[in-house]
Amino acid sequence: MLRSLLLRDLIALICVDRELKLEQYQLSKTEWQIIKQLVPIFDMFIYLTNFMLQNKIPLIYEVILMFDKLQRLFDITRANSNLHPIVRYAVIIANVVRNKYYSLTHSRSCIALQWVRALLFLPHPRMKLNYFRRLGWKSDWIEMAEELTRTICERDYKKLDEAGQAAVAAEDAKKKKKKVCLIVGFILIIN
């Protein structure tokens, strides 16, 4: 779409060429204005698509963030009365499609999704509680999400961490034993 804006003059020359019989496809000023207004929306889709393609398997928190970015773009575009009505209507339709796919992230209810978000974003170093404040969560919800996350981490992951540390210590002991055996073996060979 951006290319069509860059090639606008060339497209106009081709369309007015009587031999090619393309006059009916020549765009009006309004149609060019609509294309120009759609470019930022398509740029966002291109950015999000490329971002997701870079990750062979996108993580759920990344997907939810992409849905949120699209929602903000759609809200801003829909509220902008300076844009052509066709552009605003296109965003409404795109939002219907976005909501269809976003609803697939719900597990049984919206509340379950909110708790999934809490468990995904709270441990994330960049997100933490700021994500929920930005979304306008009530402070008691944020506190509950933080408490739930801490409880789950202490219950499930602390054991894993302790087991992991024990495994590392056992591996280190094996390595030391091998070194001692090698040194003793080397000394025996020399003597």
What Å distances lie between residue 61 and 112, 116, 117, 118, 141, CA to CA? 15, 9, 7, 10, 19
Nearest to 60 by CA among 121, 3, 1: 121
Domain assignments of the chain as residue spans, ordered by start: 41-188
What is the DSSP track for 107-164? BSBHHHHHHHHHHHHSSSTTTTTHHHHHHT--HHHHHHHHHHHHHHIIIIIHHHHHHH
The number of CA neighbours under 13 Å toward the Cβ of 78 is 14
How do residues 80-94 score in pLDDT, each as one tens digit? 999 999 999 999 998
Tokens describing residue 74: 């759609």
How do residues 93-117 score in pLDDT, each as one tens digit? 988 888 887 776 654 555 555 555 5
How do residues 22-61 score in pLDDT, each as one tens digit? 777 777 889 889 888 998 898 888 888 888 888 777 776 7
